[in-house]
Amino acid sequence: MDASSGHLVANMLSVEESLRPKYTPVPKHLQEHAAFALHGRQETTVDLVRDSELARWAAGVRKRNRAKAKIAKQSRKANRT
């Protein structure tokens, strides 16, 4: 699942090679929720505004990514001088 857009796929191989780093595997405890959201389709979009298990998990992933990006930004700034 791409946590920033809510794009959920059943098979990671169906995603273009260049886009795969943006996708994070759904944890085992949320597999049932992901299967329910897919309804047997190959891909769908999860509403990230709605209060659901997948949306809460995606928000946590985005929060961790923000922290990493902030540290990387500070590091790049320090390396410039």
- Condensed to tens digits (0 to 9), the pLDDT of residues 33-73 reads 999 999 999 999 999 999 999 999 999 999 988 988 999 99
CA 59, 60, 65, 71 torsion-angle sign: positive
Say if 1 falls within a structural domain.
no
Give the pTM.
0.77
E-state strands within the chain: 7-9, 43-45
Backbone φ and ψ for 3, nearest 5 degrees, come out as: -70, -25
Say if 16 falls within a structural domain.
yes
Domain count for the chain, please give it: 1
Q: What is the DSSP letter of 43?
A: E
Nearest to 23 by CA among 52, 39, 34: 34
Supply the range of the domain harboring residue 70.
7-80
Say if 35 falls within a structural domain.
yes
Say if 2 falls within a structural domain.
no
